[in-house]
Chains A and B, each alone.
Chain A
């Protein structure tokens, strides 16, 4: 900055004018920058505020919680709410259950979607178009519409209160199949012909060439399905009754809130614990997450 000014100083009047203009421009830019940061920070504060208040309240002693004006900072943090929530809310068990359920659904959806998408993209067979439309039509039927009979079916199969009941209805995805087929179709024809000449069968071509090339799409499908099943609420609510061993963390949080009505700090501690795995996911898989969520958007 200093060097700039001295270098420009001993010149003609004309350049002095441009110097003034550029200085004004620079100041304008700096003001705009400050305003931008200000707006961004306001947005960030508004978005994080509810979580911040939850963290503060999770650390307050019961006597402080209803205090007026409400404390905005835990001056004497009561850390014991976290172990209490963990133990009394059985959060370890419920997080494990959510993880098992989600893992089964993610793996299942990715596998069935890869297989079906491969058939639609690389193989020719009678009724290919019709069957693809059948797959797409599942996108038009929201899960809630199938709730009544699915509950019936799962109960009749003896799957009420089991991981099969939680996961099997979700082991296929029309959206994921569609996405992967699109990605497979981008693979150049020459490549599959070359692979055939090299004696690759379909299975080898799929596992060695097609899937590795479609990795971004596979990741997008996986992240999308992770988010949907981890956060699923309605189905786990109706299909797991009183069995702790399959109850997911979402339902566990609801029960924690019901049992700890008097101890809102414990409920909030449990809530914060439940956020942690997903915050890690967000930080690690941000790119895949964004791609998965905007996959349907017009670009």
Chain B
């Protein structure tokens, strides 16, 4: 205490220099702050904001049918053509179907596993590791493993008598659900981790009180756990949707560019990749990128609101 006081008194003595030194200290602090922010800001400017904004320009220019010719300005004409094309509508529909197949299933199974693993039992840690394990499986690994399971010759399907023609991954009806099944498996680990974290926030004494009052396990689950878990479920829906939206590798490996559109597995991100890499059509890819942005923007805004809330109240 005395040290602080004496230090303060010592500083106060020469009035004018103190003022200047405070200002210069502030300046130095600001300079240091900008220096600290600069590296990240530089990366963001070059590799996030600039490419993002350039989409809006690219979308206005049509690429020539042959490379190395200049692209020419067509205004919104290109966007209108792309957005009303049946290929785009098919891609959008596939994307939505894919999300609907992956997210509810993945979250429900994740919740079921989390509830099962929530009890204090011997050896439960091993089960928890197993249930969360698919979170580390990369998309290439998962795709190759499931490619084997769904192989028309090698795998289990012929043995089980499931053998549609054309084979599952080349079948317009089954290709997308098959890819979705693989994605659910891969998403299960993350889903389990999220749901387990949520379950820990449901107070045990509340469940115990309900049990003593005679509420059955079923009632307790639906009337206490699920409502208490609703923020987690909501977070899971947002994360799962973004996860499903970004599925790319499994389609590239299991189905491939030559087949994706034919079997209705041409989800939006894959369509962007094809437009850019296979068709060399940057203009079309830019239009599709903007659509992808608009969709994820709405999802992320919702998620941010919840992040904000957590920041304000938790811990």
Using a CB–CB cutoff of 8 Å, the interface residues on chain A facing chain B are 33, 36-37, 39-40, 43-44, 47-48, 50-51, 53-54, 57, 65-66, 68-70, 111-113, 115-116, 118-120, 123-126, 128, 131, 134-136, 138-142, 144-151, 153, 168-174, 177-178, 182, 186, 197, 202, 227, 230-231, 233-234, 237-238, 249-251, 253-254, 257, 264, 267-268, 271, 274-275, 278-279, 281-283, 286, 289-290, 293-294, 296-299
A138 to B297, CA, bound (A): 11
What residue in chain A is nearest B269 (Cβ atoms)?
A144
Least distance between A125 CB and chain B CB atoms (Å): 4
- Stretch touching chain A among B68-76, B89-97, B98-106, B138-146: B138-146
Chain B residues near A141 (CB, 8 Å)?
A: 48-49, 52, 293
**B311 & A171 in contact (Cβ 8 Å cutoff):** no
Chain B residues near A293 (CB, 8 Å)?
A: 135, 190, 193-194
A interface majority secondary structure: helix
**A202 & B32 in contact (Cβ 8 Å cutoff):** yes
A119 to B33, CA, bound (A): 5
Given contacts A237-B252, A297-B197, contact A138 B48 (CB under 8 A): yes
Using a CB–CB cutoff of 8 Å, the interface residues on chain B facing chain A are 3-4, 7, 26, 29-30, 32-34, 36-37, 39-44, 46-52, 54-55, 58, 112-113, 116-117, 119, 121, 124, 127, 129-141, 144-149, 151, 153-156, 158-159, 185, 188, 190, 193-194, 196-198, 201, 231-232, 234-235, 239, 242, 245-246, 248-249, 252-253, 269, 272-273, 276-277, 282, 285-286, 289-290, 292-293, 296-297, 300-301, 303-304, 306-307, 309-311, 314-315
The answer, among B39, B127, B132, B144, for a CB contact under 8 Å with A267, is: B144
A124 to B269, CA, bound (A): 40
Chain A residues near B138 (CB, 8 Å)?
A: 230-231, 233, 250, 274, 278
What residue in chain A is nearest B290 (Cβ atoms)?
A145
**B55 & A148 in contact (Cβ 8 Å cutoff):** yes
Given contacts A57-B154, A144-B289, A297-B197, contact A112 B276 (CB under 8 A): no
What residue in chain A is nearest B197 (Cβ atoms)?
A294
A123 to B42, CA, bound (A): 19
**A177 & B40 in contact (Cβ 8 Å cutoff):** yes
Chain B residues near A251 (CB, 8 Å)?
A: 140
Given contacts A36-B119, A148-B276, A238-B277, contact A279 B133 (CB under 8 A): yes
Can you list 24 contacts pairing A with B, beta carbon distance less than 8 Å?
A: A44-B130, A53-B149, A112-B39, A124-B33, A134-B44, A142-B245, A144-B269, A144-B272, A145-B51, A147-B51, A149-B51, A150-B47, A174-B44, A186-B315, A197-B7, A233-B248, A264-B151, A271-B144, A275-B137, A282-B132, A294-B194, A296-B307, A298-B234, A298-B314
Chain B residues near A113 (CB, 8 Å)?
A: 40
What residue in chain A is nearest B309 (Cβ atoms)?
A298
A169 to B272, CA, bound (A): 19
Chain A residues near B117 (CB, 8 Å)?
A: 40
A148 to B59, CA, bound (A): 11
Chain A residues near B239 (CB, 8 Å)?
A: 296
**B293 & A68 in contact (Cβ 8 Å cutoff):** no
A47 to B106, CA, bound (A): 12
A227 to B307, CA, bound (A): 21
A27 to B97, CA, bound (A): 47
The answer, among A43, A69, A168, A271, for a CB contact under 8 Å with B47, is: A168
Least distance between B10 CB and chain A CB atoms (Å): 13
Chain A residues near B185 (CB, 8 Å)?
A: 47, 50
Number of A-B contacts (CB under 8 A): 294
**A268 & B148 in contact (Cβ 8 Å cutoff):** yes
**B37 & A116 in contact (Cβ 8 Å cutoff):** yes
**A299 & B310 in contact (Cβ 8 Å cutoff):** yes
Given contacts A147-B289, A186-B315, contact A66 B33 (CB under 8 A): no
Given contacts A126-B30, A144-B289, A146-B51, contact A172 B153 (CB under 8 A): no
Which are the 10 A-B pairs with shortest beta-carbon distances? A149-B51, A233-B249, A146-B51, A125-B30, A298-B231, A172-B43, A172-B40, A169-B47, A119-B36, A123-B33
**B141 & A275 in contact (Cβ 8 Å cutoff):** yes
A119 to B231, CA, bound (A): 31
What residue in chain A is nearest B125 (Cβ atoms)?
A286
**B277 & A123 in contact (Cβ 8 Å cutoff):** no
The answer, among A36, A39, A112, A126, for a CB contact under 8 Å with B43, is: A112
Least distance between B307 CB and chain A CB atoms (Å): 6
What residue in chain A is nearest B239 (Cβ atoms)?
A296
Chain B residues near A33 (CB, 8 Å)?
A: 121
Chain B residues near A57 (CB, 8 Å)?
A: 148, 154
Chain B residues near A145 (CB, 8 Å)?
A: 51-52, 55, 289-290, 292-293, 296
Given contacts A136-B304, A147-B272, contact A112 B40 (CB under 8 A): yes
Least distance between B168 CB and chain A CB atoms (Å): 15
**B159 & A148 in contact (Cβ 8 Å cutoff):** no
**B130 & A257 in contact (Cβ 8 Å cutoff):** no
**B37 & A70 in contact (Cβ 8 Å cutoff):** no
**A234 & B249 in contact (Cβ 8 Å cutoff):** yes
Chain B residues near A253 (CB, 8 Å)?
A: 140-141, 144
The answer, among B51, B144, B193, for a CB contact under 8 Å with A294, is: B193
A169 to B43, CA, bound (A): 6
**B30 & A123 in contact (Cβ 8 Å cutoff):** yes
**B148 & A47 in contact (Cβ 8 Å cutoff):** no
Chain B residues near A119 (CB, 8 Å)?
A: 32-34, 36-37
Chain B residues near A238 (CB, 8 Å)?
A: 273, 276-277
What residue in chain A is nearest B233 (Cβ atoms)?
A298
**A148 & B51 in contact (Cβ 8 Å cutoff):** yes
Chain A residues near B289 (CB, 8 Å)?
A: 144-148
